[in-house]
Amino acid sequence: MAFNRLTAGRTLRPLALVSLLTLAACSGEPQQGMGGMKVPVSVIQVQPQATVIHTELPGRVQAIEDAEIRARVNGIVQSIDFEQGSTVKTGQRLFTIDPAPYRAARDQAAAQLKNAQASAHTARLLAQRYTALIKQHAVSQQDYDNAVAQSRQAEAGVAAAQAALESAQINLDYTQVTSPIDGTIGKAQVTVGALVSATSATSLATVHRLDQVYVDITQPVAQIATLRRQIADGIVKPDANGDTQAEVKLDGGATYRHPGKLLFSGVAVDPGTGQVNLRALFPNPEQILLPGLFVRVSLAQGTDQKALVVPDQAIQRTSDGKSTVVLIKDGKAVFTPIEVGPRTQGGYVVYQGIEAGDQLMVEGFQKVRPGAPVQAMPWKKGPAGAGQGGAQPPAQGGQPGADKPAGDQPAGDKPAGDKPADGQAH
């Protein structure tokens, strides 16, 4: 029994020694080869392209016509003659204020007019008789002058009575409150039986015309100065027809289906905000844009014939909030600060930091460090990047490469066959 144990022990020792040597050799081979490994990353080559430059600015919707219906005579509201929230036409009756006292005033003014007309007729006949008698020296000159003056005073009285009748008729018409414009009316501000006053201009309702709307926009004066400088330098070419197209961005990032146009740009800067006011006009047949709605407006500023456009996911943010990209130079990753310009359909225009022909990393940020050797492969824009045109800018506060682009694998989940970069933890 002892002999068997001794024989087994002698046999196991060489096997254990061989196993340890094999494990040591296996663990040493990757360490020797890690220094030459290149991390595969996806890149694009930046090329200049003609790009329409858009500026996205805040705006607020205003009705193209906004009529406040107010009382113009004193009285009791007898009836509300419209359906609240409905569409009304110009001249349509909305409210009826008790017309009885104004009808009586109109009738009294009509009677006074008739009295004035009768007095004027008598005075006119007297003046005519005195005109014939003065030629025969049958009346004195003083009597003739008095007759002519009385005739003219009577005619003036007729004119005053006529004006009083018209005023009374206007007040009577004001008891029938009508809409001054076509549009959509809101709720009634008063009820039947309410006492309304012309002195305080009691508010009755509001009518909005919404088939078209204004969007009032504010733009920093620094942006305007930059655009003018780019146009003067020939970088940006304005539209030949001079019409600036505009688009509205709704909540959630959706684009309003009806494009508009910029009506005017303000000629004065608000000293309190340092901004200039602009106004755009948009069709609104479905009445999606309602007065007071806050929106984002994209204005086409012109065309940059040689713009360098970088995809959204290629732009990273440093801890101090600056934008960077990763360029591939001499087979190594070079983190480069850039100056980001306006947003376009394909990403962002970059003004400084890159040049035409540069290789720019789009995917693989979490696998590389500055100066790490990389293997550049063409970027294939798959389903993950298909919607990048509507993506938001990279979040601030992260390190370069901290934002994981769409389509990349998490740092801890290496795909089969992928090897870690030199110096990375593994």
The answer to whether position 329 is within a domain reads: yes
Tell me how far apart the terminal alpha carbons of the chain are, to the nearest angstrom.
Answer: 48
Cα-based distances in Å from 47 to 4, 346, 350, 389: 79, 13, 12, 18
Are residues 283 and 351 both part of a single domain?
A: no
Task: Select, from the ranges 174-178, 242-246, 301-305, the one with the highest average predicted confidence (pLDDT).
Answer: 174-178
Q: What is the pLDDT of residue 242?
A: 60
Average pLDDT value for residue range 291-299: 91
pLDDT at 283 over 60: yes
User: For the segment 267-276, what is each residue's pLDDT rounded down to a tens digit?
Assistant: 788 888 888 8
Tokens 């190594």, located at residue: 332
**Lowest mean per-residue pLDDT among 23-27, 243-247, 304-308, 324-328:** 23-27
Are residues 380 and 355 both part of a single domain?
A: yes
Rounded Cα gap, residues 78 and 248, in angstroms = 44
Q: What is the pLDDT of residue 289?
A: 93
Are residues 292 and 313 both part of a single domain?
A: no
- pTM, 2 dp: 0.62
Are residues 362 and 374 both part of a single domain?
A: yes
CB neighbour burial string for 297-330, b if at least 16 within 10 angstroms, e if fewer? bbbbbbebeebbbbbbbbbbbbeeeebbbbbbee
Is residue 142 exposed (0-12), middle (13-18) or buried (19+ Cβ within 10 Å)? exposed
Q: In this predicted model, which residue has the larger pLDDT, 311 or 215?
A: 215
Band of pLDDT at residue 25, cut at 50, 70 and 90:
very low
The answer to whether position 24 is within a domain reads: no
Task: Select, from the ranges 27-31, 153-157, 229-233, 318-322, the one with the highest average predicted confidence (pLDDT).
Answer: 153-157
Structure tokens at 335: 């983190």
CATH of the domain at 241: 2.40.30.170
| Neighbouring-strand partners of residue 40 | 375
pLDDT at 34 over 80: no
pLDDT at 23 over 70: no
Q: What is the pLDDT of residue 344?
A: 78
The answer to whether position 237 is within a domain reads: yes
Band of pLDDT at residue 224, cut at 50, 70 and 90:
confident
Q: What is the pLDDT of residue 74?
A: 96
Q: Number of structural domains, the chain? A: 3
**Lowest mean per-residue pLDDT among 163-167, 201-205, 380-384, 392-396:** 392-396
Task: Name the nearest CA neighbour of 420 among 143, 155, 153, 35.
Answer: 35
Q: What is the pLDDT of residue 241?
A: 60
Q: In this predicted model, which residue has the larger pLDDT, 30 or 84?
A: 84
Are residues 279 and 300 both part of a single domain?
A: yes
Are residues 134 and 166 both part of a single domain?
A: yes
Per cent of the chain over pLDDT 70 is 78
pLDDT at 405 over 70: no
pLDDT at 58 over 50: yes
Average pLDDT value for residue range 389-413: 37
Alpha-carbon torsion, ordered 250, 255, 259, 263, to 10 deg: 40
**Lowest mean per-residue pLDDT among 119-133, 156-170, 209-223, 372-386:** 372-386
Classify the C-alpha dihedral 298-304-305-307 as positive or negative: negative
Band of pLDDT at residue 30, cut at 50, 70 and 90:
very low
% helix / strand / coil in the chain, to the nearest 5?
30, 35, 35
The answer to whether position 402 is within a domain reads: no
Average pLDDT value for residue range 240-247: 73
Are residues 314 and 373 both part of a single domain?
A: yes
Element (H, E) at 168: helix 141-174
Q: What is the pLDDT of residue 191?
A: 95
Average pLDDT value for residue range 84-105: 95
**Lowest mean per-residue pLDDT among 231-240, 259-268, 387-396:** 387-396
| Neighbouring-strand partners of residue 119 | none
pLDDT at 414 over 60: no
Are residues 300 and 323 both part of a single domain?
A: no
Q: What is the pLDDT of residue 386?
A: 41
Q: In this predicted model, which residue has the larger pLDDT, 99 or 23?
A: 99
Largest CA distance in the chain: 180
CATH of the domain at 353: 2.40.420.20
Last residue of one domain, picked from the residues 305, 334, 359: 305
Average pLDDT value for residue range 286-295: 92
Rounded Cα gap, residues 367 and 400, in angstroms = 12
The answer to whether position 426 is within a domain reads: no
Last residue of one domain, picked from the residues 174, 201, 236: 174
The answer to whether position 401 is within a domain reads: no
Are residues 215 and 151 both part of a single domain?
A: no
Task: Name the nearest CA neighbour of 75 among 155, 173, 205, 187.
Answer: 173
CATH of the domain at 159: 1.10.287.470
Rounded Cα gap, residues 417 and 414, in angstroms = 8
The answer to whether position 395 is within a domain reads: no
Range of the domain at 341: 308-390
Last residue of one domain, picked from the residues 159, 174, 189: 174
Are residues 288 and 315 both part of a single domain?
A: no
**Lowest mean per-residue pLDDT among 7-21, 121-135, 251-265, 297-311:** 7-21
Average pLDDT value for residue range 54-72: 92
Are residues 352 and 300 both part of a single domain?
A: no
Cα-based distances in Å from 419 to 34, 38, 139, 189, 368: 9, 8, 132, 73, 12
Q: What is the pLDDT of residue 296?
A: 92
Do residues 150 and 126 touch, judged by C-beta distance below 8 A?
yes
Are residues 257 and 333 both part of a single domain?
A: no
pLDDT at 394 over 80: no
User: For the segment 129-170, what is each residue's pLDDT rounded down to a tens digit?
Assistant: 999 998 888 899 999 999 999 999 999 999 999 999 999 999
| Cα-only R_g, the chain | 43
Average pLDDT value for residue range 383-405: 38
The answer to whether position 179 is within a domain reads: no
Q: In this predicted model, which residue has the larger pLDDT, 118 or 270?
A: 118
